Amino acid sequence: MRRWIKIMIIKKQIKHKNVIRFFSLALASLMILSMSWTPITYAKNSQYGPQSEPQVVTPVKEEPSSIKSNEEQGEDLEIGPEIVGQPVGAAIPAPTINKVFCDATTISGGKVHKAKVNKKIVIATVHVTLKAKDGTVKATLSYTPKRGNTWKVDLPAGTKVEEGDTVTVYQQLDEDKSPEVTANAELSIAGQTTLTMPAGEIWIEHTNSNQVNDDEKAEATELLKNANPEIANKIKSVTFSIDGTDHAYYEVTYTDRSTSGKIEAPDLKIKTVTETSAAPTIQKVQVTDGQIIVTFAEEVAAGTKFYFVNNFTDNEDNSFCEGGKCIVDKSTWREMSQTVSVDGTKVTFSINDDDLELGKKFGIIVKEPHKFRSCAKSEPVITTPKKVAVRDPKKLTDDDKKAIDKAIRDANTVHGVSKLPDGTGFIDDPAFIEFDKDGNVTIISPNDVEVDWDGGNPVYRKNADGTYKLNDGAKVTKFPAKDLVKNIAPKSPVIAVDTDKGEVTITPPAYKDPGDDTDLASYTITYKDESGAEKTVTATRTVDATTGKTTWTSDGATVDANTGVVTLEIKELAVGATITAKAKDNGGLIPEEAPLESDLASKALETATISYDGNGGTGEMKDKKLNKGSKYKILSNAFTAPENQEFDTWEVNGKKLAPGTEIMVDKDTQVTAIWKESRVKLKITTSVTNGTIDPSCDAYKGDNKTINYAPKDGYKLRSVTVDAKEMDISKYPNSYTFTNLDKNHEIAVVYELPTYTVTYDWGKDAPAGKEL
C-alpha cells in the first residue's frame, strides 16, 4: 500500500488532466476508506500467446511518462479484453519480437500492453534498439499503436538488418517499464534456399488466357516440392502463374513467412490441353441407393479425378453436358477422387443419405490427367423392394397386398424419411400405392390426384374401377407383379444334436396342415463320416393319391417312414462334422416356375478338447479333439515326474480318476496329473575354528544351499575345506554354496590371528648383538 501512495504522489506532478483528476479521486478515497483502497490495475490481454523465454534484464534509467488519453490517441483505439490486471506502477509484461531476418527493413512483434486508467484506455509505447555486431547503435525507434496489440517499426532509409545484429525491445506505460527482450538477426529460409525449378511438362487448359485452375496449381506445387524434397516441409504456400505457353513462374512463401520472389521455371514446358476425358455412363440409380455406379468404355486412367454434383441450381442442369460443357458455377458439388472405388471400367461413388431425391437430377464429372473434363447427368428412380413371398402370385390376398405396400415403403425410407412422392403443401398425405387385379402396382403422388375439399380435408377422386383419378400430365411409377412377389420356397429342415443320447436328428419342414409346405417333395442331407468320407442321403416323400397318406423312404440312412425324421449316430460322424439339409418342393404355385429349394440348414457338431496338464511334470501328452457326446478313455501317464516326486492319479473335473477310466465328453476337459512326494534328504555338516558358521542342516537332493561364516574379532580366514578339499579362500571369503545337491557334504572353516613383521631403525648408535 505504501508503494501505491508513493506512485500517486509522483503522478500528481505529471501535467496530464486525466492523471491529476485520477489522483484527486484516489486521494479522497484513501482518506475515506482509511487505507482500504483497492488499486487500479492493469490486465493482460487474454488473446496474447505465451511470452518469449525469460531474458536477463539490465537496469535502465526510467523514461518520462508516455501515457496518452483516448483523446490523444484518437477515437479509433481498439478496446480489447486486456483491462486492468496490475496496479499502476507494477511491472508490465515484456512485448514479443517476431523473427528478425537479415536484409529486413522492418521489425515487428506483439503483446503491446494496455491498461484502463480512470475509465480510459491507455496503451504502452514500444522502444526498439538495433545494434550492430560491434555494439554500434544503428537505430533507436519507438512506436505507440492506436489499436490492437501488435507493433511494427520501419528502419531509417539505408538501414537494414545484417548478420550479427541484435534487436532490444521493451515497452513503457507511464513510469512502468517492462523487462527488455532481445532477438538476434537470423537468415530466413528464403535467404538460405536456392530453389531448384522443376523440369518436364505441365498441362494447362486455358493457356490463351493465362488461367490456371486449382488442379493445375496443385500439380505445379507437387512438381516444385518433388524438385526440392529437402525443403518441401518448409513451404507454406506456392503461387504458380504462366505467360502463354512460353513462361512458367513460381513464388514461394515459407513457413517463416519469408518469400522467394517470382522465379521463372525455364525447363518446365507448358502444354495446352486438347483432349477430353473418357465419357462416364451412369447406371440405374434408385432413390435410396447409398452409391452411384459409373462405367467407362475402357479402364479408368491412373490419376483420374471424380466429382459429384448433388444439387443443380439456377437451371445449370439444363446446360450441363450440352456441347461438352461441364460447368457448375453455382450448383453444389464435391470432389470424391479419394473416396470412390475403382475396379477396371467401373467406379463406385459412396454418397450421403440426402444426396438423392426423386425428381432431382445429379451429375458426375470426370477429369483425366492432361485432358478436359467430361460429364454425365441422371435422375434417381423409386427403389424396387425385395420380393414379397406369397402363396399364389396370381391371387394376392389382402395380407399379401399389405406386405407388398409395406415392402415398398420400407425400401424407400432412409432413417425414417420417406423417399416416395409423398404429398406436399396443403396435401401432405403419403404416396398412394395402388394394385390392379393382376397384382401390378402404381405409385402415385397425392398432388397428382384430382381432389375435392371437405372442411379443409382433401377428398381424392376415383375412377369407376376404384383407381385414383389423375390430373393431366401426372407422372406415376409402375411395378409389374413379377418384380414384387415370389413363390414361397419350403422351409428348411431342422437339425438337432442330442449329446446325452449321442444322436443327430434331421426333421423335414411341416407339410400336413394348410399354410405348411404341402407340396414338399424331398430333402437331402450331407455330412462326413468318421473316416472323413463325404456322405449324401436323400429322404423322399411319397403321397398316396387315394388316401393322401405320406410315406418316407431313404437311400442311405435310418428314416422314420411316418414322420420322415432321419437319425445319425454322433460316434459315426467326423470330428466337428457339419451336417447340412435342404428341402425341395414340387414346384411353385405358378405352373411355369421350377421347383424351389429351401435355405440350407447347417449344424456343425460342437467339439471338445481333452488336454493333459503335467502339473509340474515334464514331457508332453497330446490333446485329443472329440465331438461333444462322445466317450473317451483316459490314457496312462506319460509325463516325467518332478524332482523327488512320482505319479499318483489323474484329476478330472475335481474327481480323482485312474488311467483307463471312460468319461462322457460334453465340454473342454483338462486331465491333471497328481504327484506325490518322493524326495531324498541329504546332510550338510559344518564346523568352524575361531569364528561362527551356519549350523549343520538337512537339504534335499537337487537343491542349492549356502553356508555362511564369519571370524571372531581380530581373526582372519585361514582355510575353507569342503569334503576334505581345501578351497580358494579368495573366492569364498564369507560363504560357500552347494549347488544341485546329490550327496552329503562337510565344510570346515578355520580362522587365525594375523601376524606382523616389525622393523626397527636404531640409527648409527644401534647396540650390537641386541635381540628384540
Burial degree of 605 (CB within 10 A; 0-12, 13-18, 19+)? buried
Give the cell for residue 284: 440405374
Listed residues 486, 502, 536: the one ending a domain: 486
702 touches 665 (CB < 8 A): no
- Residue 600's contacts (CB-CB under 8 Å, 6 or more residues apart) are 492, 580, 581, 582
Residue 456 maps to a domain:
yes
C-alpha cell at 700: 534335499
Closest CA to 568 of 610, 536, 597, 545: 536
Same domain, 517 and 582: yes
In the predicted model, residues of the chain with pLDDT beneath 50 are: 1-89, 514-515, 588-589
Same domain (yes/no): 69, 167: yes
Q: What would the DSSP string read from start to end of 543-576?
A: E-TTT--EEEEESSSEE-TTT--EEEEGGGB-TT
The secondary structure of the chain in percent helix, strand, coil, rounded to multiples of 5, reads: 10, 40, 50
d(CA 692, CA 717): 11
Name which of 333, 374, 326, 369 is nearest 216 in CA terms.
369
Beta strands in 268-405 (DSSP E): 268-272, 281-282, 291-295, 305-311, 332-335, 341-343, 346-350, 362-367, 374-378, 388-390
CATH number at residue 405: 3.10.20.890
* Pair (400, 410) in one structural domain: yes
* Cell numbers describing residue 90: 507494477
734 in the same domain as 612? no
Is residue 24 one of the residues assigned to a domain? Answer: no
Q: pTM for this one?
A: 0.45
Q: Clarify whether residues 600 and 573 are in a common domain.
A: yes
CA distances from 40 to 33, 376, 460, 489, 640 (A): 15, 70, 79, 90, 89
Q: What CATH number does the domain containing 75 carry?
A: 2.60.40.10
Task: Quote the distance between the C-alpha of residue 439 and its chain's center.
Answer: 50
Identify which of 470, 284, 304 has the alpha carbon closest to the alpha carbon of residue 371: 304
- In the block, residue with C-alpha cell 517499464: 177
Are residues 162 and 73 located together in one domain of the fold? yes
SS3 at position 126: strand
Question: How many structural domains compose the chain?
Answer: 7
* pLDDT at residue 518, as a whole number: 67
Whether the CB-CB separation of 280 and 292 falls below 8 Å is answered with no
User: Residue 685 sits in a domain of what CATH number?
Assistant: 2.10.70
Q: Which is nearest to 419 in space by CA: 431, 403, 401, 432?
A: 431
Q: Are residues 545 and 662 located together in one domain of the fold?
A: no
- Regarding whether 482 and 503 lie in a shared domain, the answer is no
CATH code assigned at 249: 3.10.20
pLDDT recorded at residue 80: 39
Q: What is the pLDDT of residue 399?
A: 87
Grid cell locating 26: 484516489
Helix-then-strand count for the chain, H and E? 7, 56
- What pLDDT, in 10s, does the model give residues 77-106? 333 333 334 444 457 999 999 999 998 899
Look at residues 249, 152, 236 and name the one whose alpha carbon lies nearest to residue 197: 249
- The answer to whether 527 touches 535, Cβ cutoff 8 Å, is yes
Picking from 647, 677, 707, the residue at the C-terminal end of a domain is 677
Within a domain: 2: no
Would you say residue 28 lies in a domain? Answer: no
DSSP assignments along 577-607, one per residue: -EEEEEEEES--SSTTSPP-BPPPEEEEPPE
Residue 34 forms part of a structural domain = no
Asked if residue 434 is part of any domain, the answer here is yes
Contact call for residues 741 and 702 (beta carbons, < 8 A): yes
The CATH number of the domain holding residue 370 is 2.60.40
- Residue 53: the pLDDT is 33
What is the full DSSP assignment across 159-205? Answer: ----TT-EEEEEEEETTEEPPPEEEE-B--HHHH--PPPP-EEEEES
Residue 23 lies in a domain: no
717 and 613, same domain (yes or no): no
Q: For residue 769, give the DSSP letter.
A: T
Residue 709 is part of which domain span?
A: 681-752
| 566 within 8 A of 540, measured Cβ to Cβ | no
d(CA 225, CA 645): 74
Which residue among 187, 219, 250 closes a domain? 187
> What is the per-residue pLDDT across 726-767, written as a single tens digit (0 to 9) for each?
999 999 999 999 999 999 999 999 999 998 887 777 666 656
Longest dimension (CA), the chain: 162
Give domain status of residue 26, yes or no.
Answer: no
Long-range contacts of 70-78 (CB under 8 A, 24+ apart): 70/120, 70/121, 73/121, 73/122, 73/123, 73/144, 73/146, 74/146, 76/146, 76/147, 77/121, 77/123, 77/146, 77/147, 78/146, 78/147, 78/148
Distances (CA, A) of 398 to 356, 389, 513, 514: 32, 14, 21, 18
Report the distance separating Cα 521 and Cα 544, nearest Å.
13
State how beta strands 550-554 and 578-585 pair: unpaired
Q: How far is CA 660 from CA 617, 631, 668, in A?
A: 20, 12, 19
* Burial classification of residue 151, based on how many CB atoms lie within 10 Å of its CB (0-12 exposed, 13-18 middle, 19 or more buried): buried
Query: What sign does the dihedral 460-466-470-476 (CA atoms) show?
Result: positive
Q: 577: how many CB neighbours lie within 10 A of its CB?
A: 22
Question: Are 337 and 217 contained in the same domain?
Answer: no
Give the integer Cα–Cα distance in Å for 354 and 617.
Answer: 67
Could you tell me if 297 and 369 lie in one domain? yes
Return phi, psi of residue 318, to 5°. -70, -35
Neighbours of 310 (CB within 10 A): 19
pLDDT digits (tens, 9 = 90+) for 410-438: 999 999 999 999 999 989 999 999 999 88
Domain match, 433 and 470 both: yes
